[in-house]
Amino acid sequence: MSAVKISCPMCGQALNQASVEEVFIEFSTLNICGRCGFGLDLRWRGRGSALSQPTPNLVIVTTGDSVVDQLNNYFGTSLNVAGVSEPTDALGICAKALRRETPLSAIFVTIRGQSQRWSDIAVAVRALEEGFKVPTPTPLWFFTSAIPTEEERYIFEDLADIYWRECPEGKEEQTLLEVAPELFR
Amino acid sequence: MHPTPPDQVKPPDSVQNPWASQGSRRVLLVSAEPWARNVLSLISQCSERHIEVTHAIDGAQGLYYMSQSIYQGTPYQLLILTDPLSQLSTETCIKALRAIERGLNRPPYPCLLCTNDVTPPELLARYPQTLHLRVPNTPQAASMVAAGILQILYTLQTYQQSDEDSDLGSKSLDTD
CATH number of residue B114's parent domain = 3.40.50.2300
Nearest to A123 among B73, B87, B165 (CB): B87
Could you tell me if residue B5 is inside a domain?
A: no
Q: Which letter does DSSP use for residue A107 in this model? A: E
DSSP track, A51-86: -SSPPPSEEEE-S-SHHHHHHHHHHTTS--EEEESS
Q: Do A131 and B66 touch (CB under 8 A)?
A: yes
Confidence label for B161 from pLDDT (cuts 50, 70 and 90): confident
My answer on whether A113 and A73 are in the same domain is yes
For residue A105, what pLDDT is reported? 95
Nearest CA in chain B to A151: B87
Could you tell me if residue A52 is inside a domain?
A: no
B14 touches chain A (CB under 8 A): no
Displacement of CA B172 from its chain's centroid (Å): 23
B22 touches chain A (CB under 8 A): no
My answer on whether A19 and A62 are in the same domain is no
Q: Picking from A28-37, A62-71, B12-21, B135-144, which range would have the lowest pLDDT averaged per residue?
A: B12-21
My answer on whether A177 and A137 are in the same domain is yes
Q: Comparing C-alpha atoms, which of A18, A17, A19 is closest to residue A8?
A: A19
Q: pLDDT tens-digit profile of A76-106? A: 999 999 999 999 999 999 999 998 888 999 9
Confidence label for B172 from pLDDT (cuts 50, 70 and 90): very low
Checking if the pLDDT of A62 tops 90, the result is: yes
User: Cβ distance A57 to A105 under 8 Å?
Assistant: yes
The average confidence (pLDDT) of chain B is 84
My answer on whether A134 and A90 are in the same domain is yes
Could you tell me if residue B148 is inside a domain?
A: yes
Give A 37-96 residues with CB within 8 A of chain B. Answer: 37-44, 46-52, 86, 88-96
Q: Do B96 and A6 touch (CB under 8 A)?
A: no
- Beta-bridge partner residues of B28: B54, B79
Checking if the pLDDT of A6 tops 90, the result is: no
Checking if the pLDDT of B113 tops 80, the result is: yes
d(CA A73, CA B8): 80
My answer on whether A127 and A98 are in the same domain is yes
Residue A19 phi/psi, 5° resolution?
A: -100, 5
Q: pLDDT tens-digit profile of A98-143? A: 988 889 999 999 999 888 899 999 999 999 999 999 999 999 999 9
d(CA A96, CA A87): 15
My answer on whether A93 and A137 are in the same domain is yes
Could you tell me if residue B166 is inside a domain?
A: no
User: Cβ distance B36 to B8 under 8 Å?
Assistant: no
My answer on whether A29 and A91 are in the same domain is no
User: Cβ distance A182 to A76 under 8 Å?
Assistant: no
My answer on whether A25 and A62 are in the same domain is no
Count structural domains, chain B.
Answer: 1
Could you tell me if residue A53 is inside a domain?
A: no
Checking if the pLDDT of A27 tops 70, the result is: no
Between residues B124 and A99, the one the model is more confident about: A99
Could you tell me if residue B60 is inside a domain?
A: yes
Q: How far is A99 from chain B (nearest CA, A)?
A: 8
A159 touches chain B (CB under 8 A): no
My answer on whether A146 and A76 are in the same domain is yes
Could you tell me if residue B59 is inside a domain?
A: yes
Q: Is B9 helix (H, G, I), strand (E, B) or coil?
A: coil
User: Cβ distance A140 to A104 under 8 Å?
Assistant: no
My answer on whether A98 and A39 are in the same domain is no
Q: Do B73 and A44 touch (CB under 8 A)?
A: yes
Q: Do A128 and B72 touch (CB under 8 A)?
A: no
For residue B158, what pLDDT is reported? 87
Q: Picking from B32-46, B53-67, B117-131, which range would have the lowest pLDDT averaged per residue?
A: B117-131
Range of the domain at B102: 21-161
Q: Which of A1, A10, A55 to mutate to test the interface with B (most CBs of B within 10 A)?
A: A10
d(CA B156, CA A87): 32
d(CA B50, CA B169): 28
Count of other CB atoms within 10 angstroms of residue A41: 18
Q: Is A70 exposed, middle or buried (0-12, 13-18, 19+ CB in 10 A)?
A: middle
Q: How far is A180 from chain B (nearest CA, A)?
A: 25
User: Cβ distance A96 to A50 under 8 Å?
Assistant: yes
ipTM here: 0.89
User: Cβ distance B27 to B53 under 8 Å?
Assistant: yes
Count structural domains, chain A.
Answer: 2
Q: Which of A1, A26, A40, A125 to mutate to test the interface with B (most CBs of B within 10 A)?
A: A40
Q: Do A133 and B77 touch (CB under 8 A)?
A: no
* Length reported for chain B: 176
Could you tell me if residue A110 is inside a domain?
A: yes
Q: Do A15 and B173 touch (CB under 8 A)?
A: yes
My answer on whether A107 and A147 are in the same domain is yes
Could you tell me if residue B8 is inside a domain?
A: no
User: Cβ distance B32 to B57 under 8 Å?
Assistant: yes
Residue A102 phi/psi, 5° resolution?
A: -130, 75
CATH number of residue A132's parent domain = 3.40.50.2300
Q: Between A and B, how many CB-CB pairs are < 8 A?
A: 180
Strands (E) across B32-142 are located at 51-56, 78-82, 111-115, 130-134
Range of the domain at A37: 1-47
